Amino acid sequence: VNGLQARTFGIWTLLSSVIRCLCAIDIRNRTLYYITLFTFFLALVHFLSEVFIYHTAALTIGVMAPLMVASFSILGMLIGLQYLEVEALLQNKKKN
């Protein structure tokens, strides 16, 4: 890893965390919710590809932790998405 790669990965991580914080603040914003969910999918695919496709990382705790966070976050956000759908339907019924 050279300095450029480290800084690029750092900026990508910072951008993902800003998106996730904004989603936490405005969780009912569907577009932001989907973008946040996509960041977790990207992280999961990235770490899985480094381990199983490129073989540049081993399954150590340093790689397992982001894999677990991304997996559980995706699962939680998919469950939460169902609640957002129901809430949107209820709000539409109240308007009509």
Q: How far is CA 55 from CA 1, 18, 27, 49, 58, in A?
A: 15, 29, 36, 8, 7
Q: What's the predicted TM-score (pTM) here?
A: 0.87
Please state the separation of Cα 28 from the chain's center in Å: 16
Contacts 24+ apart (CB under 8 A), 61-64: none
Q: Provide, for the chain, the percentages of residues in helix, strand and coil under a 3-state DSSP scheme, each rounded to the nearest 5.
A: 85, 0, 15
Asked whether the beta carbons of 51 and 58 are under 8 A apart, the reply is: yes
Q: What is the pLDDT of residues 62-90, one digit of tens each?
A: 999 999 999 999 999 999 999 988 888 88
pLDDT in tens, 42-63: 999 999 999 999 999 999 999 9
> What domain range is 36 assigned to?
3-95
Total number of domains constituting the chain? 1
